[in-house]
Amino acid sequence: MKQRFWFILIVAYWCLLLFSCKTPDSAVYPVVPDYSKTTAWFEGGVGAGKDYDIFYIVPTCVFDWQDENGKICHYMDVYNASHRSSVDGPLRLARGIFAEEANFFAPYYRQITIESWMESDEVIENRFETAFKDIEAAFQYYLKHQNQGRPFVLAGHSQGGKAVIELLKRCMNPETYGRMIAAYPLGYPVRSEDTSNYLLPATDAAGTGVSITFNSVAAPDRLTKLLEGSTIAINPLNWRIDTVVASKQQHLGMVFTAADGHILSEESQVISAYLDKKTKALVVSGVDPMTYYEPALAEMFPPGNYHIVELNFFYRNLQQNVQERAAAFLERQNREEI
């Protein structure tokens, strides 16, 4: 199990932290993506033909790297084949969850590197602005040229979850929001300063126009500073926002995939979970914390912090939920058109 997890960690989800050195800020920036070109999108950004879309923002997968002059860069180069390969496995994992019935649009963007998340809050926010410029440009291009008026889901995990929150705060308007089925800013806290008329917490399994998030741990004290402080959360097993424990019988399946997206393993009725009242953390039982722990990652993810595998843990529950919310949205839309 340990060997399998390490393989998944490397090639199917994050290409995560192997060292913890911090580097000074640098003015080195990769080329700005051109979202009118298919090369700026995962698998060309094509696939229209289904009733609704997924606009997905991938989590952090790239390390600091040196340019041809030996200068350190803190951002993904979207035209670097190695960088793209690092994010493609997590994108295929997400596509399996979110887009079984939908068109999948995922931009490559100048995401900030893994090392960046160990810097101060000020450095993180300053660097993230570069990443968000790309995400905003991609989202606007998607709306104008690719969406064609279809309903859509916004989704992302970790850095991608933060990006979804910022899109809701900065880039929504009544017309666009009226077509948003739901938002999934997963694996990132929605804090008190994150205010928007379009950032509404989900309270059940079928609501639309709402935001769904959670952060998974073995115990509340395993929630690290980077991910603490959320004012909203929902349990993906019972779709409740209170502290009622969801049983293993409600766990539809955790799934681990290879880099090419094919399923390596799947188990159901393994996990139970409840929301901690004070921290809003999703407290998970049924798995061994040490199975999903690597000592090299301890600074960001100590034993019992399940951030790097929470999409795997709740794969089938999330998959079902996206489809349920989309069905509710489309049914209401059809009634209004009659």
Stated as kind and residue range, the H or E segment containing 9 is helix 2-11
Residue 153 CA from chain centroid, whole number = 12
- Quote the radius of gyration of the chain (alpha carbons, Å): 19
Residue type at 238 in one-letter notation? N
- Give the pLDDT score at 92: 97
Handedness of CA 292, 263, 324, 190 (dihedral sign): positive
- Give the pLDDT score at 46: 72
- Give the pLDDT score at 300: 83
- Give the pLDDT score at 81: 95
Contact 40, 77 (CB under 8 A): no
- Give the pLDDT score at 76: 97
Half-sphere exposure of 282 (CA within 13 A, CB side): 31
pTM for the model stands at 0.92
- Give the pLDDT score at 49: 87
Each residue of 21-69: pLDDT tens digit? 344 455 799 999 999 999 999 998 777 789 999 999 999 999 899 998 9
For residue 119, give Cα distances in angstroms to 22, 72, 125, 174.
7, 15, 10, 36
Along the chain (338 residues), what's the average pLDDT of each consecutive run of 10 residues?
41 38 63 97 84 97 92 96 96 96 97 93 96 98 96 98 98 97 98 96 98 98 94 98 98 97 97 98 97 80 94 98 98 82
Contact 181, 52 (CB under 8 A): yes
Nearest to 77 by CA among 107, 111, 45, 106: 111
Half-sphere exposure of 33 (CA within 13 A, CB side): 32
Buried b (16+ CB within 10 A) or exposed e, 157-167: bbbbbbbbbbb
For 80-141, the three-class secondary structure string (H helix, E strand, C coil) is CHHHHHHHHHHHHHHHHHHCCCCEEECECCCCECHHHHHCCHHHHHHHHHHHHHHHHHHHHH
- Give the pLDDT score at 6: 38
- Give the pLDDT score at 21: 39
- Give the pLDDT score at 12: 38
Domain ranges of the chain: 2-337
Each residue of 217-254: pLDDT tens digit? 999 999 999 999 999 999 999 999 999 999 999 999 99
